[in-house]
Amino acid sequence: MNNFLQITSNKFDSYFNAKVVRKIELLLLRAAVFSFILHLAIIYLGNNFTYFQHFQHSYLKAIYTPFSFILFYEVFLLIIIIPNSISEFIGKQFEVITLITLRSFFHDIADFNTSEAIHFQNPAFLSLVYDLVASIFMLGLTIVYYKIYNSSNNKEVIRELNQFINIKKVVSLSMILVLLVLSVTSLFNWSVDMLEALKINDNYPNPNTVFYEDFFSIMIFVDVLLLIISFTFHSSFFIIFRNASFIITTILLRMSLTIEKPMNYIIILIGFLFAIASFFLYRFRYIHHKRDI
């Protein structure tokens, strides 16, 4: 078993070193640029030729497409940092959810009818306000979280056993495969739903439930699995509570993806605040426990 873990760990290190990750980043950025230009061209055809009228949209709609590739890259980074500390892993989840919120703005602004009166009784305008306000709060809470995580003077150093780190690398590699399969199936299902929606110009698929709903559902079980495995290496009430609170945060983030605005953002902010409060108290206890020794 140890040999298998070590071999897998070595493969993980060779597959996802800094050079490989940079190559993947550049590949996705090129795909983002190409998809942006392609989407603009399709909208141009839809807006100017009757044969392509099903693709008629605002040009702002094209912004959503390259941003989706950037978001996908952030999800990829989320997976490959699983072998790192769970605290860093949760911080990356904060970033992903914040970017999903920004992407929602790009999606909604293209459907906003500027000829209508702009007031808070307008649901479309209110939806845009929710996106902007929520994303700013999420950014602020993410900064607070990393401030706690990166507290320099009393930064906690967790020396995990190599075996546990190797187990997390196996999990990370498995999640890469899941990511690839999920991406292909989600793209296919989204394409089918989008083509049907274009025919009737209605019932467009929710961009946040495509891929991310299933992904975060899987991440909940991955978090629980790692939590249980971690008990065999280090177990204390405070570590259990901290890790369990992070799982609760992941569950709340997953719930938010299928709930209407603004309740989805309220749930996200509750998840952020709960994780930050738990992590702060854990760090507070850690620092004062060291002083008492």
> 196-241 pLDDT, tens per residue?
766 665 566 666 666 777 888 888 888 888 888 887 777 778 888 8
- What's the first-to-final CA gap in the chain, in angstroms? 38
Work out the average pLDDT over 110-137: 82
CA separation for the pair 71, 16 (Å, rounded): 18
Q: Look at the chain and report how many structural domains it folds into.
A: 1
**Above 90 in pLDDT, residue 30?**
yes
Please check whether residue 103 is in contact with residue 75, taking contact to mean a CB–CB distance below 8 angstroms. no
Where does the pLDDT of residue 61 fall: very low under 50, low under 70, confident under 90, or very high at 90 and above?
confident
In order, the DSSP letters of 47-59 are HH-GGGGGG---T
Pick 185 or 58 by higher pLDDT: 185
Please name the amino acid found at residue 274: F
Q: What pLDDT score was predicted for residue 194?
A: 66
**Above 90 in pLDDT, residue 135?**
yes
Give per-residue burial for 187-202: e unless 16+ CB within 10 Å, then b: eeeeeeeeeeebeeee
CB atoms within 10 A of CB 269: 17
CA separation for the pair 57, 102 (Å, rounded): 20
Structure tokens at 102: 């920004």
**Above 60 in pLDDT, residue 90?**
yes
Highest-pLDDT range among 4-8, 88-92, 191-195, 274-278: 274-278
The sign of the dihedral angle between the CA atoms of 146, 272, 87, 279 is positive
Q: Which tens digit of pLDDT belongs to each residue from 73-85? A: 999 999 999 888 8
Pick 273 or 52 by higher pLDDT: 273
Please check whether residue 283 is in contact with residue 145, taking contact to mean a CB–CB distance below 8 angstroms. no
Q: What pLDDT score was predicted for residue 157?
A: 43
Q: What pLDDT score was predicted for residue 210?
A: 64
The rounded mean pLDDT for the chain is: 82
Tell me: cis bond preceding 207? Omega within 30 of 0 counts.
no
Q: What pLDDT score was predicted for residue 264?
A: 93
Work out the average pLDDT over 173-177: 90
CA separation for the pair 219, 228 (Å, rounded): 14
CA separation for the pair 131, 112 (Å, rounded): 13
Selection from 173, 13, 242 nearest residue 234 by Cα: 242
**Above 80 in pLDDT, residue 20?**
yes
Highest-pLDDT range among 13-27, 103-117, 263-277: 263-277
Where does the pLDDT of residue 292 fall: very low under 50, low under 70, confident under 90, or very high at 90 and above?
very low
Q: Which tens digit of pLDDT belongs to each residue from 136-170? A: 999 999 999 999 988 754 444 444 577 888 889 99
Q: What pLDDT score was predicted for residue 130?
A: 93
Percent of the chain past pLDDT 70, that is, above it, reads: 85
Q: What pLDDT score was predicted for residue 147?
A: 92
Whether pTM exceeds 0.85:
no
- H helical segments located in the chain: 2-15, 18-48, 61-80, 86-109, 123-149, 162-200, 212-230, 237-256, 263-292
**Which range of residues forms the domain containing residue 149?**
2-292
Work out the average pLDDT over 249-256: 90
Pick 178 or 113 by higher pLDDT: 178
Q: What pLDDT score was predicted for residue 251?
A: 92
